[in-house]
Structure 1
Amino acid sequence: MARPAGLTAARWQVLGAVLHEPLPVSGIARAMGITRQSVQRIADLLVDQGLAEYAPNPAHSRAKLLHPTDQGREAIRRIGPAHRDLAERLADELGDEEFARVLEALERLSSAMDRVSAGTSPRR
């Protein structure tokens, strides 16, 4: 879905993380649960492509904020219809009840991963 917009899945995710508010690379990494170095590499590629840019961070002079350019926002908009179509086809394939069960399972998995990564999950 991302390829026609000139993005990889990883670049789409990082760009998507800053659509609503600029964030430092470390903040994106925390939100995504991956290393800062991985996000830094992808963010630099997005900047090189003209899809994002760095801006000064008033809270931290060395940790610049990443935010999308107009070109980056347009790339994300181009993905929207294909993403929406896939989601609708999956929902039709699964049916309402199964779709709700899958969503609930994914939400439980996400919560469990948050607890495990925070070290608050009990060991068995």
Structure 2
Amino acid sequence: MAEVERTAAGSALTKLILDLFRLNNRMLTSGDRLVANLGLTSARWQVLGTIEASERPQPVAWLARDMGANRQNVQRIVNDLEKEGLVAFAANPHHRRAQLVVLTEKGRITCEMAMRLQAPWASGLADGLEVTEIERTHRVMRALLHKLEGSEEAREEA
């Protein structure tokens, strides 16, 4: 197979993407271990955190959009969380079938406990890194996310 030509930036980005895949897998595994005693996984924790961070209750489709995740996967996780009493469904005045997802008191407490575990974990990971480096990396990631979301929206409109 012939070598595909990339710009220098494209080659650097490709290396970054491959490492981001590895980092994502390691983060999920580490997150799973961190919150296992709370009965959570990284995926459940992410859904709970998205619900908690929302300004108001949202339907599953909106939560999935905010997470950049597949609606069906988020629905499955929300259903599991509801069975465990961490979230509940509420009537949506704007859409009869798309119920709103709300944290229960148990869900709120579980989120708080997870964040108490996360704070020293994140600080430990950040140890030895400069805040400006972390912020610069975050800006690059947000720029890439913005470009990808823009290209997805353009495809959907076509």
Match of 2:142 among 107, 116, 120: 107
Q: Give the TM-score of the pair, scaled to structure 1.
A: 0.86
State the percentage of identical aligned residues: 37
CA distance in 1 between counterparts of 2:103 and 2:137 reads: 32
Q: Give the TM-score of the pair, scaled to structure 2.
A: 0.69
| Root-mean-square deviation over aligned CA pairs | 1.6
CA distance in 2 between counterparts of 1:42 and 1:95 reads: 36
Unaligned runs of 5+ in 1: none
Q: Rg bigger for which structure?
A: 2
**Structure with more of its chain in helix, by fraction:** 2
CA distance in 2 between counterparts of 1:95 and 1:4 reads: 32
Count of aligned pairs? 120
Aligned to 2:3: none
Letter of the aligned partner of 2:87 in structure 1? A
SS in 1 for 2:92: coil
Matched, 1:15 2:48: yes
Q: Is the 8 A contact 1:5 1:76 kept in 2?
A: no
Query: How much does 1:77 deviate?
Result: 0.4
- How has the CA–CA distance of structure 1 residues 85 and 56 changed in structure 2, closer, same or farther, with 3 Å as cutoff? same
Large movers: runs of 4+ above 6 Å: none
- Larger RCO, structure (CA 8 Å, separation 6 or more): 1
Deviates more, 1:16-25 or 1:94-103: 94-103
Deviates more, 1:90-99 or 1:79-88: 90-99
Letter of the aligned partner of 1:77 in structure 2? E
CA distance in 2 between counterparts of 1:110 and 1:40 reads: 23
